[in-house]
Chains A and B, each alone.
Chain A
């Protein structure tokens, strides 16, 4: 007989030194239930997941799995006991095949050698359980798309027949279409009786896929219940402890003169892809756009559609195959990022950890890197002046830190992102190129960044935003352009777009 409760956590506590990460967390999940775990960054979700997956031990409280005490000694032990975890950052060995990845650490052996036939069958079964039996098992993991890599990772988790599957921000790097497929996979697992803990910042997604929810705030369970009875406003209020009335503020602003123009640019990655023109000849996909001072221009599209490529090409990080980028008051020759900063263009990378920030350096160094030569004469840098400049933005943007000399890796994602954005403000840039500015950060920081972008436009700056989150683009932008496979297909005022229109344009199904 299946117990009514698959996993029950009661009064979990955990401290790191003086920091109380978990004060009192309780949670109950039934078999075959999708349970959304919601909370701002720093609410204790990660700590809770680490305790569940065996990476940390709780200081107090009890955990029961199928009415048995559950105390995993390490992640491997947790897997054997039936709790598997899918991390936000995928953990695949990209040079190994899909099959090798699925069976990693659980290979079928015969006489000490990998038993190919059995291994293959087991990997295949796991994939079929997910409804993806067609995935090429011999292909290297690195050659799959992110969405397929995620399927491989889930298949690995399913290999040991888990009772509970934990998914941390599974859709953060997926496109809308892939998200739909993932939801289908989740529904399938639910039907098979697997309990799923679903962690996401996207509340709309949680309310679609989850049966029940639990909200964490400051290490405590502050609410739980059936998803169908909860409104989004109610969840946000629980998470933040305050009511967020207007997530997308509209500071009145009036677009002025054109400051940035891209003319029939061909992106290097798409130069080989010829599309047929009306007259039977084939042409390369091109992008043309104009951005005005005081305008917020959104770039929508699927992941890999070339939005980031376009932004990087404008900034001189990647070369264009053809076409040109024109800036007011700047010569039209090929530019480097160095030239662009001098021309007043700033770029925020979508990849905070790998490109955006120097993680083991201070907030001040990160914030002022583009203009070191202005903090002293003749090549000297005065750290006090540098720190004063940084402190100004730390205060203005309410970055949670000790002081501007603190190492940036010690901050939460949202606060790191504020520092990355402050670099553009401090420079100061006139044209802001923002690639996924709110990816993976908490609701509070998001609201703050929306407010900031809106104020920038009001102050006459031009802003170009790439985002995969449509409500954000629709809420914030004046104009939205949609990219599809290297081509900027349609540019219209925001009022003329709906989510469905954008998705249609993005998938090329007009």
Chain B
């Protein structure tokens, strides 16, 4: 009985956090009228898309005991690639596939280096962070890449052929979240990801091809980051090589707030998605309160610390 109560608390922790944050911004007189409206939540959901899709890939990586710091740069690079391809007259589907593939390619570089050279993911992806950012600027000739128009431009607004309720990006993120959650929980691949993150030595001893698995995880996550780059492109309507600086921290924070452990073996897609929403609600609410951006940064920083601290308390108690 006691134990089930604890698991429920552990699982619903991020959800309670989200409700608290929403409640906090619904009360003040400045925001009361507008904050809880459908239109505002449409904006919040749209603002969550890029971080949420990045968090899908990042959850896999963090659960496997790794980390990827190069996400922001990957998003910038893939959005520049997408913009250049549109300039060259590629159709939207070809651009979509090419952008996802280029994200996967960066993942392949990361994964191969981590598994092949046996170096820590932190160092390797810190390196790719620079490499990808530099490449983006190089490809874009150090300026934004503009194009006339593309059907892609409408994927982050409601004025698009696919949906008039929420932008295409939101639906894509939702469907991918569902699929990734199934992948992690109910497939051999997913269970092996948890095994790898929980104890790599055990995974190896039990006959899991750990190197191949690591590479696969980073490639798959890279594809998600490429897709996030595409939505970045759709949102800005131009390829900007200086975009998404530091976005990896937002993405990692979403995953951690969602209950994943940086030491691996623990984490859920649902948690990470709620984590991404908490980040978006905090930003949206702060803007409506008229708080300066530096104040938002401080608040988000504190929320991360509090979330991890609460998680530690929870786990400490579970260990007793």
Contact = CB atoms under 8 A, between A and B. Distances in A.
A360 B207 contact: no
A111 interface: no
12 contacts: A16-B320, A338-B208, A341-B207, A358-B265, A360-B266, A361-B198, A366-B202, A370-B206, A372-B188, A372-B191, A380-B187, A423-B206
B235 interface: no
A317 B191 contact: no
B123 to A, nearest CB: 20
A317 B204 contact: yes
Contacts of A376: 186, 188
B224 interface: no
A379 interface: yes
Contacts of B265: 358, 360-361
Interface string B174-213: 0000000000001111111011001101111111110000
Contacts of B189: 379
Given A17-B2, A379-B189, A358 B207 contact: no
Contacts, number: 85
A402 interface: yes
Given A317-B204, A358-B198, A366-B202, 12 more contacts: A337-B205, A337-B207, A341-B207, A356-B205, A358-B194, A358-B202, A359-B199, A372-B188, A373-B188, A376-B186, A381-B188, A383-B186
Interface of A: 16-18, 317, 336-342, 347, 349, 354-361, 365-366, 369-370, 372-373, 376, 379-383, 402, 407, 409, 423
A365 B194 contact: yes
B298 interface: no
Chief secondary structure at chain B's binding surface: helix
B199 A355 contact: yes
Contacts of A358: 194-195, 198-199, 202-203, 265
Contacts of A342: 207
Given A358-B195, A361-B265, A341 B206 contact: yes
B186 A380 contact: yes
Interface residues of B, number: 28
B40 to A, nearest CB: 39
A383 B207 CA distance: 20
A487 to B, nearest CB: 26
A336 B211 CA distance: 12
A81 to B, nearest CB: 26
A409 to B, nearest CB: 7
Task: Across the A-B interface, give the 4 residue pairs with the lowest CB-CB distance, nearest first.
Answer: A358-B198, A338-B207, A355-B201, A341-B207
A147 to B, nearest CB: 25
A13 to B, nearest CB: 17
Contacts of A336: 207, 209
Contacts of B117: none
A191 B203 CA distance: 49
B262 to A, nearest CB: 13
A190 to B, nearest CB: 36
Interface in B36-73: none
Nearest to B199: A358
Contacts of A409: 319
A351 to B, nearest CB: 8
Contact of B186 (A340, A361, A381, A423): A381
B302 interface: no
